[in-house]
Chain A
């Protein structure tokens, strides 16, 4: 398996535009996580899915953020409208089960909102 695949690797957009980040988890993994990393706040868990169902979205900063997982092999994180403070590295991770296992992280998407 190629691991967790995220796209794009880099995204530069203007304030107010819609941004969509994509993630392909490892095949067979039941859990998918979206994280955001900034210098100020470190790594923050935004939302996670179990078997394509959102379980906990308490980390989603506000209504401008939304995440979907239409099938087991694809997830999106959308920001609409984007703001400069959304600039960060967004990571997607997947794991086989909830505990006693390792999570595999993608290489991240570096988002810059100007």
Chain B
């Protein structure tokens, strides 16, 4: 499975866009990029995923570079409730097994 690199922590002002980067330089051609977040001690929550094209849903936008070696999750108008650990996951494995392997993620602190 491809590995990901994320900054350990980031701050964002409430109401501003939060841009969370992720490097995945060893990604394979058929591997998706998934983003999940975990608020305090709740179960992880799915945000968005993509393969090649940029994606947008009601929660966020996912921008994937043309070479697919990195991506950025964008929360357009961060609120205090967006404070969480954000995980970028590449997978689910070269054989598409469905496994989600979580790294350490980025702790996003949204400040008033």
Contact = CB atoms under 8 A, between A and B. Distances in A.
Question: A and B from one assembly?
Answer: yes
Interface of A: 4, 31, 33, 35, 42-45, 48, 50, 55-56, 89, 91, 93, 95, 97-100, 102-108, 110
Interface string B39-67: 00111111001010000000000000000
Contacts of B41: 89, 108, 110
Interface band, chain B: 20 to 34
Contact of A108 (B43, B46, B49, B97): B43
Contact of B43 (A42, A99, A106): A106
A43 B43 contact: no
21 contacts: A4-B43, A33-B99, A35-B102, A42-B103, A45-B100, A48-B97, A50-B98, A56-B99, A89-B41, A91-B43, A93-B44, A98-B98, A99-B92, A100-B32, A100-B49, A104-B46, A105-B43, A106-B43, A108-B41, A108-B42, A110-B41
B9 to A, nearest CB: 15
Contacts of A106: 43
Interface residues of A, dominant DSSP:
strand
Interface residues of B, dominant DSSP:
loop
A42 B92 CA distance: 18
A45 B99 contact: yes
Interface in B79-109: 87, 91-92, 96-105
Given A98-B92, A99-B32, A100-B49, A105 B99 contact: no
